[in-house]
Each structure stands twice: as C-alpha cells, then as structure tokens.
Amino acid sequence: MKVLSTSQMVACDQYTINILGIPSHDLMENAGRALFERILYHRNKRGLVFLIGPGNNGGDGLVAANLAQAQLIPYTIVKTNDELLAALSQNSHVLIVDALFGTGLKHDVVEPIRSVIESVNSSNAFVISADIPSGISGDTGKIMGAAIMANETVTFGYPKIGFFQNDGLSHTGDIYVADIGLSLEGVSSNTDILTYAEMVSTATERPVHSNKGDYGHVLIMGGSRGCEGAVRLATHAALRSGVGLVTTAVPESIYHLIASTQLEAMTQTLAHNHELVKNKTAIVIGPGMGISDDAVSEFEHVITQSQCPVIIDADGINNLAKNVSILKKAKAPIILTPHPKEMARLLNKDVAYVEEHRLNCSKEFATTHHVYVVLKGYRTVITTPTSHSWIIAAGNPYMATGGMGDVLAGLIGGMCAMGEDITQTIIQAVFLHSATADYLSEKTKGATVLGSDVITAFPKVSAILKDGSQWTLDTHLIPKHSQNNWRVIGR
C-alpha cells in the first residue's frame, strides 16, 4: 500500500478532479460516508460530538454529521473549549469526531483551538480523527503546537508519511484507510507500508526431490568473550530460516564453547576466514564480534572478497563506521541492519536526528552507498539502493530486548542464502521476525518477548502466514459487511 506525502496527496486530488473529472464534492461525500461508517461502529450509546474546522477536513466532518442527522442520531457541533467542556460534562460516555485540521495545516495550532485539543486529550472520550489527527504534520509526524491523540484515524485515499514518524506513531491509533476514489496516476511514490494482508502466502512448497544442497549455505561470523550469545542466536535463527547449511565462524577463544552447543551448524575459527567465504551463498558478519583492528581486517576482507550477499549487523556496523568508503569495493549486495544508534554512527549524526528522520536517513545511506538498509525500531524501514522503501506494519515494544537484532540478522542471512529475489527476501524476513513477536506478545498478553522465543516460534508463524490465518489487528478490526474496501494498519 502506497504511503504519500502531503504534496503527493494534493497531486492525487488535482489529478482526480481536473483530469478524471470527478467533482471534489463527490470525493468529500465519499470521505464523509466512510467516516460515518466508523462513527456508527463505535457509537454504542455514546454521546456524539463533532469538532468541525474551516477547510476540507471540516467538510468531511459535516457530511458525517448530516448522515447522523438523517438517521436521527443526536449530536453536538462544538466550536469553543467551553462548548466542548459543557458537552463532556453532560455525558461521561462520549465519541468525539475530530475534523478540525487536515494535511493542509501550515502553522502551529494556537488558541482558542489549542485549548480544545488539550481538553479532548485529557478527557476519556473515544476519538476518531478524519484523515489525520489535527495538529500532526502529514510529512514529519511532528506535533504542530498541539495535536489530537486519536484512538482511530480514518484516512482518505492513502496513509500519510507522517503517520509512521515521530509523534504520528503515538497519535493516530488504529488507521483505517478508506478508498474514496482518488487516483494515483501521475503521482510517483517510492514508499510503501506493508501490512499482514500483503504478506500472506509468501512461502512456496519445496519440490519433493530437493536436498539441503538446493537451499544455500550461510556463514555466520562473529562472537567474542562475553558476547557468545549473539552469534549463537544468529546461528539458531539461520537454522530456522530454511537454509540448507549453516557454518558459524568464531574466535579461537570461544570456539569450543560454540562448537559444543551447535548441533546442526558446522563450526570454524575466524583464523581461516579467507577460505571461509568461499562457496557460501550468504554471509552474516558482526553479531557479538567486538571492535578491534583484527575485527576490522576480517570485516574488510569479507566486504571486498565476497561474491554473495553480505548482511552486516551490530559490531559489523560499528567497524564499518570507521571506514564507510570500503563499501565502494563491495562485489556483491550489502545489507545493513542498524538500530538508530548504529545508524547515527554511520551518518555521523546524533540518535535524536535519526529517530526524527528515520525514513530520510534510511534512503540517504542506501542510495549514497548503494546498499540495502534495514533501519530497526518501531515501524522498521527497509530501503533498497534505488531508494524504494517499505515500512513494516508489524512488531511491538515487547520485542525490545537484547539479542533480537542478532536473530533478525541470522534470519535474513539464512533466507538470502537460498537465492531468491533479494529485496523480497529481506522484506519477508523482517516481516516474519516482527510478526512472530506480535504472535508471542498476543499469546502472552504483553509479556516481554526474547529472541530465543522468536526463533522457536518461527515455524508456527510461517505456517499461519502461509495459510492466511491472521490473528492481529488487520483481521479483527476489519468491519464485516462494509461497503468500503477498508485497509487497516493496527497500532
């Protein structure tokens, strides 16, 4: 599903109205009907309050209010904070429809509307925002003075980039994308959001006559004293990926410890690294490796000599930050899996800058150095060397535990080793990783999820995705018997 900037949304509107000849009034009617459908779903004897602004967003709200009137549903339109407080005092069970400002907001919200927004946020009302929570930038996701904290956002046409950055992540609630008839013709977007609906049935059946030699050989390089767990987790994740063979290469100091705990993987020492890279179909370097001159030397050899995809994670990225120019000598695809702090080191920026500009940072580094970037975090961003990005609508804060990134690196490495399309393989690996954490979090009702838990659950979740059984928000939030072709992005 495409994700658009505010200027791209304007271009969609203009093309649809001026070229296709669809009246703007019809688009507003479609938007208002979609909004009203969600109002009906949530009303449940709640008092209904509309916040109506001056622009098209307010017009969408008025259409919904007129539909409520046609069905004899009582409602109140409030314009001031006093009117809102009065409405809230009359009913403790209230549904507020936010149609104050849309994506066209150009300045910070000031009084008297600022107080209205603050009163909404301090109430216990259920809040539905029309198109975008008022006060959130459609491009950056930042709060513009003050912003509505919505339980649900009914957005029109396409989700906005600001939903997945900065304050937009916490202010949109569940996102319902309504098809109101806008055309993407004439608009070029290289950013998508991937939901569970797009990731169903990605697995393929194996031929009955196949063997382990048909499914690649991944090399996992890393480990050091005190960080043995990182390389073990990456190895176990690779083994669960479906790859045919896994070799783990570690320093001599921890060789016996690793070798004694790897039942299915082969083990070598890093002393033989010049030979190790031969005949491999993917390499993962970095988990638990440490930062040293020897590590840098091993790392640079892998970058310059490997003929297969190389996944660089953790200390591999930290070693790379010392000499980013080495990427110019790469002979094969390079995949980086940084968390924000590692991304900051690569860009020579601070972490706050990266968190504020996640999408742009991912695109900048990927295109400048012709690599794939998997920028981890809530709503992980995958970017190709050609600047196409995918935002992953899966994952949760309960997976924010040590070792989770090592698991992802091993999974990506194992799946890339099987030789399928590299972009689709990265997408599938990242989504499976996040979806598995979602599955475990839901089953344990919000308990912390460990990397080893995720590895164990990979086969179960792979099977669920394969047969289309979706257990998350994408399924149970999609309304039944709806006239709108809803696409849902659960929070």
Q: pLDDT digits over 66-85, tens only?
A: 999 999 999 999 999 999 99
Residues 224 and 293 both lie in one domain: yes
Q: How many residues does the chain have?
A: 491
Are 417 and 282 in contact by the 8 Å Cβ rule? The answer is yes
Average pLDDT over residues 366-389: 98
Name, in order, each residue with C-beta under 8 angstroms of 288's C-beta and a sequence gap of 6 or more.
Answer: 222, 223, 224, 227, 228, 229, 230, 231, 314, 315, 406
Are 290 and 224 in contact by the 8 Å Cβ rule? The answer is yes
Q: How far is it, in rounded angstroms, from Cα 347 to Cα 362?
A: 10
Q: Give the pLDDT score at 299.
A: 86
Q: How far is it, in rounded angstroms, from Cα 435 to Cα 417?
A: 21
| Residue 36 predicted with pLDDT over 60 | yes
Residues 290 and 161 both lie in one domain: no
Structural domain contains residue 474: no
To which residue do tokens 């069970």 refer? Answer: 93
Q: How far is it, in rounded angstroms, from Cα 31 to Cα 12?
A: 15
C-alpha angle 419-423-426 in degrees, rounded to nearest 5: 80
Give 209-267 as a 3 state SS string. Answer: CCCHHHHCEEEEECCCCCCHHHHHHHHHHHHHCCCCEEEEEECHHHHHHHHCCCCCCEE
Residues 484 and 356 both lie in one domain: no
Structural domain contains residue 452: yes
Confidence of residue 471 (pLDDT cuts 50, 70, 90): low
Q: Give the pLDDT score at 92.
A: 86
The share of the chain scoring above pLDDT 90, in percent, equals 85
Is residue 480 classed as helix, strand or coil in its secondary structure?
coil
Residues 342 and 392 both lie in one domain: yes
To which residue do tokens 């996944």 refer? Answer: 311
Residues 244 and 221 both lie in one domain: yes
| Residue 452 predicted with pLDDT over 80 | yes
**How are the residues of the chain apportioned to helix, strand and coil, as percentages rounded to the nearest 5?**
45, 15, 40
Structural domain contains residue 203: no
| Residue 116 predicted with pLDDT over 90 | yes
CA 91 to chain CA mean position, Å: 38
Q: How far is it, in rounded angstroms, from Cα 152 to Cα 240?
A: 37
Structural domain contains residue 204: no
* Residue 489 neighbours by CB distance under 10 Å: 27
Residues 131 and 112 both lie in one domain: yes
Confidence of residue 141 (pLDDT cuts 50, 70, 90): very high
Q: What's the order of all strands across the beta sheet hosting 76-78?
A: 76-78, 47-52, 94-99, 126-130, 152-156, 174-178, 487-489
| Residue 265 predicted with pLDDT over 70 | yes
Residues 276 and 232 both lie in one domain: yes
Are 118 and 85 in contact by the 8 Å Cβ rule? The answer is no
Confidence of residue 292 (pLDDT cuts 50, 70, 90): confident
Average pLDDT over residues 183-196: 92
Distances, alpha carbon 67 to alpha carbons 29, 39, 49, 61, 86, in Å: 10, 10, 14, 10, 24
| Residue 470 predicted with pLDDT over 70 | no
| Residue 97 predicted with pLDDT over 80 | yes
Residues 484 and 458 both lie in one domain: no
| Residue 361 predicted with pLDDT over 90 | yes
| Residue 273 predicted with pLDDT over 70 | no
Q: How far is it, in rounded angstroms, from Cα 236 to Cα 234?
A: 6
Q: Give the pLDDT score at 354.
A: 97
Q: For residue 112, is the peptide bond before it cis, meaning its omega torsion is within 30 degrees of 0? A: yes
Residues 222 and 104 both lie in one domain: no
Average pLDDT over residues 420-448: 93
Burial class (CB in 10 A: 0-12, 13-18, 19+), 352: exposed
| Residue 489 predicted with pLDDT over 90 | no
* For helices 24-43 and 56-70, angle between their N-to-C axes, nearest 10 degrees: 60
**Sign of the torsion angle spanned by Cα atoms 102, 107, 113, 117:** positive
Structural domain contains residue 201: no
Residues 163 and 236 both lie in one domain: no
Two structure tokens written together for 211: 């063997």
Confidence of residue 468 (pLDDT cuts 50, 70, 90): low
Q: Give the pLDDT score at 399.
A: 96
Q: Give the pLDDT score at 259.
A: 95
Nearest to 478 by CA among 187, 248, 129, 197: 197
Residues 118 and 181 both lie in one domain: yes
Structural domain contains residue 207: no
Residues 194-242 pLDDT 10s: 988 777 655 678 899 999 999 999 999 999 999 999 999 999 999 999 9
**Range list of β-strands (E), 91-179:** 94-99, 126-130, 152-156, 174-178
Could you tell me the CATH number of the domain that includes residue 149? 3.40.50.10260
| Residue 476 predicted with pLDDT over 50 | no
Q: Give the pLDDT score at 24.
A: 97
Residues 164-186 pLDDT 10s: 999 999 999 999 999 999 999 98
Are 286 and 313 in contact by the 8 Å Cβ rule? The answer is yes
Total domain count, the chain: 2
Average pLDDT over residues 49-56: 95
Q: Give the pLDDT score at 200.
A: 64
- 20-26 long-range contacts, CB within 8 A, separation 24+: 20/183, 20/185, 22/181, 24/56, 26/181
Of 320 and 92, the one with more pLDDT: 320
Residues 185 and 128 both lie in one domain: yes
Q: What is the mean pLDDT of the chain?
A: 93
| Residue 469 predicted with pLDDT over 70 | no
Structural domain contains residue 110: yes
Confidence of residue 260 (pLDDT cuts 50, 70, 90): very high
Q: Give the pLDDT score at 295.
A: 81
Is residue 395 classed as helix, strand or coil in its secondary structure?
coil
Structural domain contains residue 393: yes
CA 147 to chain CA mean position, Å: 22
**Which range of residues forms the domain containing residue 439?**
212-469
